[in-house]
């Protein structure tokens, strides 16, 4: 430790940390000043949707949901990583965030790494929605061209609220009318080009990333607080740890493991990650266990053939599925409780952990077999990976496995494409400490980007049952009012409401009034209007758009109800004391109109 060699290594690591810290400080500043859309607080629809969840939430789930909602309701862009093992409730958290975004009139993109996982999320979301008139779409290579065109048109027009899909979502011809939330499931499965496109999509959009084992760079950014992180560590009830066996390949052991699972009425995943001889492996197993129904599947199959095999396997028409890593992410089949992986030494640690998580999703004891050819051919990193997996078999080990993965592979340059860094030379703790020291030493500021409007009013509006009785029609009206951005849209929707449902009552008029206040706030570059106890504080993001003579004129004519603090030129104070909510809303509206 006291040698010259150590000093040199530490000095090199420090220089690397200096460069990285400078970038991180820039990222911090950029993130702090990058303003997103402040989503509306939970309404009755949100409460009803969440109450329909058929399971009891774990304490971690509830805490994570609170953190996400707080992020979404603030005017800063969310960039949160949810790290939790398979089956720990990440998908439900994502569904609630998506529903909340739709309640504020925004669209959602839900990105999954595989066709099968995207399809599964899409179907599960539709089941969770029940009678709520939220429209979801699916975009994968298995969707026909005709359907794809309809979905793309629906996105542009705003009739599709949530789009599930693979990397096809990132293509140039996918245009959202008003994207508010991007959800990325298993980000580590996307390539560098896809990640660059994701970065472009995320500019002013809230982003939620889900992972059981985040890649070192993602985890690293969360540890350094460039991204926020929520951990799900509470196991669901009756979940048992997965027994993990690591040994040299032996066909007799494979046959014994398969037969034991089939005898208790279960099913088996057999993973062989080479398409060229996948069929041959299936033939060997059929010969060894003639009584078993064995099929094989891989990503290059035709859509109909793959769908047929997966459908039969899900509904227990197939007992053993020999496949490539297409089964790695998210597939939820509780009856599969044995997984056999040959050539486990060729797979990454996070990948192995994900694959092991395909089993043990019920109250049955699950088994995972990791085979390698023979000890002599294993390199040092492969031995480390297999050892980490054998040592971390308890429930909720995903975060620990990711930390170990970071030490083995190195977090590297989190801003570039490399996946190797100075961690190996000085160790993870020391490198993080050096970066923290540099961050504390440096400071940086950035100009604020244009913000969306954050309204906090003492009053609100609602649609009474006496005005719109049909829940679907009422829900649709709430959504459309929340997404109004221009006077034309406002007048059009008002006329439509009167034609369809009759004279607009005061409660509904208040909703339209709030929408109009938002429109005017956008024009005047007001990003925050907060009202408490009859006093409204108006804060401008750009004072340069305000005409000073109009402000002075307004103050002088108001009889003391509008005040300007000379020390804070970006603030106006309005005395909104009024007899009725309608008068209060009208006063705010008319006051702000005079500044345009």
Mean local confidence (pLDDT), 151-167:
92
- The pTM is what? 0.64
Whether the per-residue pLDDT at 393 is higher than 90: the answer is: no
Q: Name, in order, each residue with C-beta under 8 angstroms of 460's C-beta and a sequence gap of 6 or more.
A: 510, 511, 514
Whether the per-residue pLDDT at 484 is higher than 80: the answer is: yes
Q: Beta strand 228-232 with 79-84: parallel, antiparallel or unpaired?
A: parallel
* Domains in the chain: boundaries: 4-232, 242-394, 454-593
Burial class of 117 by CB neighbour count within 10 A (0 to 12, 13 to 18, 19+):
buried
CB 401 within 8 A of CB 388: yes
DSSP 76: B
CB 575 within 8 A of CB 561: yes
Please give the CATH number for the structural domain made up of 454-593.
3.90.1150.50
Task: Give the CATH class of 242-394.
Answer: alpha beta
User: Higher model confidence: residue 476 or residue 91?
Assistant: 91
Structure confidence at residue 432 (pLDDT): 62
Same fold, 242-394 and 454-593: no
Please give the CATH number for the structural domain made up of 4-232.
3.40.50.300
As a 3-state breakdown, the chain gives helix, strand, coil percent values, each rounded to 5, of 50, 15, 35
Structure confidence at residue 402 (pLDDT): 55
Structure confidence at residue 271 (pLDDT): 92
Mean local confidence (pLDDT), 108-128:
90
3-state class of 105 per DSSP?
coil
Mean pLDDT across the chain, nearest whole number? Answer: 80
Whether the per-residue pLDDT at 521 is higher than 60: the answer is: yes
Tens digits of residue pLDDT in 52-80: 998 888 888 999 999 999 999 988 888 88
Sheet hosting strand 79-84, strand order edge to edge:
136-139, 162-165, 107-111, 179-185, 206-211, 79-84, 228-232
Q: Name, in order, each residue with C-beta under 8 angstroms of 147's C-beta and a sequence gap of 6 or more.
A: none
């Amino acid at each position: 430790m006291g040698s010259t060699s150590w000093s040199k290594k530490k000095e090199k690591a420090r220089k690397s940390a200096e460069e990285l810290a400078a970038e991180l400080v820039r990222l911090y500043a950029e993130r702090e000043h990058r303003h997103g859309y402040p989503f509306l607080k939970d309404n009755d629809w949100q409460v009803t949707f969440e109450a329909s969840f058929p399971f009891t939430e774990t304490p971690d789930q509830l805490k994570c949901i609170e953190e996400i909602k707080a992020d979404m309701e603030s005017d800063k862009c969310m960039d949160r990583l949810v790290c939790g093992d398979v089956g720990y409730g990440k998908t439900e958290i994502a569904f609630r965030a998506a529903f909340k975004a739709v309640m504020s009139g925004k669209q959602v993109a839900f990105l999954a790494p595989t066709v099968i996982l995207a399809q599964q999320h899409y179907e599960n979301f539709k089941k969770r929605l029940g009678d709520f008139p939220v429209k979801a779409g699916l975009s994968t290579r298995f969707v026909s061209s005709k359907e794809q065109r309809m979905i793309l048109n629906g996105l542009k027009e705003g009739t599709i609220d949530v789009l599930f899909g693979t990397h096809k979502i990132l293509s140039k011809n996918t245009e959202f009318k008003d994207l508010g939330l991007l959800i990325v499931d298993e980000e580590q499965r996307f390539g560098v080009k896809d990640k660059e496109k994701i970065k472009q999509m995320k500019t002013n959009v809230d982003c939620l990333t889900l992972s059981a084992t985040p890649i070192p760079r993602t985890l690293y950014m969360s540890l350094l607080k460039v991204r926020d992180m929520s951990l799900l560590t509470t196991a669901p009830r009756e979940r048992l740890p997965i027994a993990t066996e690591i040994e040299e390949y032996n066909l007799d052991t494979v046959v014994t493991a398969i037969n034991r699972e089939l005898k208790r009425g279960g099913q088996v995943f057999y993973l062989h990650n080479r398409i060229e001889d996948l069929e041959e492996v299936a033939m060997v197993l059929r010969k060894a266990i003639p009584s078993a129904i064995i099929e094989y599947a891989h990503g290059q199959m035709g859509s109909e053939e793959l769908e047929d095999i997966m459908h039969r396997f899900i509904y227990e028409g197939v007992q053993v599925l020999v496949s490539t890593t297409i089964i790695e992410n998210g597939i939820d089949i509780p009856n599969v409780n044995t997984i056999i992986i040959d050539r486990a030494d060729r797979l990454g640690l996070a990948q192995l952990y994900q694959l092991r998580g395909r089993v043990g999703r019920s109250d049955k004891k699950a088994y995972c077999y990791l085979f390698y050819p023979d000890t002599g051919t294993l390199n040092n990193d492969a031995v480390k990976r297999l050892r980490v997996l054998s040592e971390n078999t308890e429930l909720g080990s995903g975060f620990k496995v990711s930390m170990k993965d970071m030490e083995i592979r190195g977090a590297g340059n989190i801003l570039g494409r490399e996946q190797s860094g100075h961690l190996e030379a000085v160790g993870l703790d020391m490198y993080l400490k050096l970066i923290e020291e540099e961050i504390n030493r440096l400071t940086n500021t950035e100009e604020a980007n244009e913000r969306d409007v954050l309204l906090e009013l003492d009053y609100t509006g609602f649609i009474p049952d006496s005005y719109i009785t049909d829940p679907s029609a009422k829900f649709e009206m709430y959504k459309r009012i929340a997404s109004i951005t221009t006077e034309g849209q406002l007048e059009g929707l008002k006329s439509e409401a009167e034609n369809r449902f009759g004279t607009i009552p005061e409660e509904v008029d208040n909703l339209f009034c709030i929408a109009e206040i938002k429109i005017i706030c956008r024009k005047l570059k007001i990003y925050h209007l907060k009202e408490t106890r009859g006093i409204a504080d108006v804060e401008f993001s750009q004072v340069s758009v305000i005409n000073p003579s109009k402000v002075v004129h307004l103050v002088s004519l108001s009889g003391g109800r509008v005040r300007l603090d000379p020390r804070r030129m970006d603030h106006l104070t309005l005395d909104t004391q009024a007899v009725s909510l309608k008068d209060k809303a009208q006063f705010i509206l008319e006051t702000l109109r005079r500044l345009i």
